[in-house]
């Protein structure tokens, strides 16, 4: 789940939406690559391998980003009736 802004009247609401399959894959790979780049280490291949291992163990920056996105959608659940 992720939130998308939806303008209703004069207010903008963060409406939780389900993420389409293709976007799930692209978001996951983008988050893993960004997390690997921000790691400190020797080579990119080592950093990427470490991030992939952390992702497999439900740890690391990419998983934290996913959890934050889910938490934001859960917090705005009250606005789900504005879904398009």
Give whole-number Cα distances, 65 to 10, 16, 62, in Å. 30, 16, 5
| pLDDT tens-digit profile, the chain (84 residues) | 999 999 999 999 999 999 999 999 999 999 999 999 999 988 999 999 999 999 999 999 999 999 999 999 999 999 999 987
CB–CB of 66/30 below 8 Å?
A: no
């Amino acid at each position: 789940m992720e939130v998308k802004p939806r303008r209703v009247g004069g207010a903008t609401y963060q409406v939780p939406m389900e993420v389409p399959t293709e976007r799930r894959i692209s978001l996951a790979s983008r988050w893993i690559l960004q997390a690997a780049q921000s790691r400190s280490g020797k080579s990119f291949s080592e950093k990427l391998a470490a991030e992939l291992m952390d992702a497999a163990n439900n740890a690391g920056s990419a998983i934290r980003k996913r959890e934050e996105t889910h938490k934001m959608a859960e917090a705005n659940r009250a606005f789900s009736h504005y879904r398009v």
